[in-house]
Amino acid sequence: MAASVITVLFLFSCLLQSASADPQEQQVTAHPGKTVTLSCRAPNNVIITAVEWIRSGLDLDRYVYLKEDGRLNTANQDPSYMNRVHLKDDEMKNGDLSLILKNVNSNDGGKYECRYEEKGSWKRADQIKLTVILDAGDLQLQPIKEITVHPGDDVTLPCRAPNYITITTVEWSRSGLNKRVFSQRDGNLNTAGQDPSYVNRVQLRDDEMKNGELSLILKNVNSNDGGTYECRYKEERGRNLETADQIKLTVIPDAG
């Protein structure tokens, strides 16, 4: 009987350890331009030698924030977070590893993870999903980007959507055309309504559209390609296409 009780207690202890190793995801919302605190707490009886914050969608060798042995390490910090993040308590008293993120923008949305190092071993403390809420004023188009190229060049038309949404459709159009330049829906290229002049000359820079990357590569530019391009997308639960970027492409003839 005693052995059975010990076995049950041991299994219960294992379950508790497993649960503590996989913290529940916190939900945090913020508006562009605001400051937000991403809460994280480690046990207050451990000696922490390093703390790291990472975010889904960043390159594997990049991080949001890293502090080791009391010193900030910016060697591989993602450039978009430079001078925008700091610990709520630099001394990490009572295991407080919370991160303050200033001047939030739409690209900051995603899943954040807080980890700490104790006795040479890394442990996960907390996970936070940050959702950036865009108001009507935030949805206004950015100024039209202007790009110039020469005939025969390949050019990338940049476009980026918020990185925390699931995109099902991306569409590129150009002023003066009745048909589309490019269209992809549910991972499949849609050529039914594509203008014939763009067939086999356009492709997404990233077919998987990771981090909201919707940029279009246009190959072998010719003089007829000039005009204003518009990049639009539809997210998983959206009903309408949303405009992400506009680019004015000017094709300059060669001097000869």
Q: State the CATH number of the domain containing residue 46.
A: 2.60.40.10
Asked whether residue 99 is domain-assigned, the answer is yes
- In this model, does residue 15 exceed pLDDT 90? no
pLDDT tens digit string along 28-72? 999 888 999 999 999 988 999 999 999 987 778 899 999 999 999
Among 65, 99, 132, give the residue marking a domain's end: 132
Question: Do both 215 and 150 map to the same domain?
Answer: yes
CA 247-107-228 angle, 5° bins = 5
pLDDT tens digit string along 121-156? 999 999 999 988 866 555 555 678 899 999 999 999
Q: How many Å is the Cα radius of gyration of the chain?
A: 24
Asked whether residue 55 is domain-assigned, the answer is yes
The 10 Å Cβ neighbour count of residue 43 is 13
- In this model, does residue 248 exceed pLDDT 70? yes
Asked whether residue 19 is domain-assigned, the answer is no
Asked whether residue 112 is domain-assigned, the answer is yes
Question: Do both 114 and 157 map to the same domain?
Answer: no
53 or 163: which carries more pLDDT confidence? 53
Rounded CA gap, 118 and 190, in Å? 52
Question: Do both 89 and 178 map to the same domain?
Answer: no
Question: Whole-model pTM above 0.85?
Answer: no
216 or 24: which carries more pLDDT confidence? 216
Rounded CA gap, 172 and 179, in Å? 10
Rounded CA gap, 39 and 41, in Å? 7
Asked whether residue 225 is domain-assigned, the answer is yes
Letter string b/e over residues 56-71, b meaning 16 or more CB atoms within 10 A of that residue's CB: ebbeeeebbbbbeeee
Question: Do both 199 and 146 map to the same domain?
Answer: yes
Q: Using an 8 Å Cβ cutoff, are 241 and 231 in contact?
A: no
- In this model, does residue 77 exceed pLDDT 90? yes
What domain count does the chain have? 2
Question: Do both 158 and 70 map to the same domain?
Answer: no
Among 107, 132, 157, give the residue marking a domain's end: 132
Question: Do both 122 and 204 map to the same domain?
Answer: no
Boundaries of domain holding 74: 24-132
pLDDT tens digit string along 203-227? 999 988 887 889 999 999 999 999 9
DSSP 8-class letter at 181: S
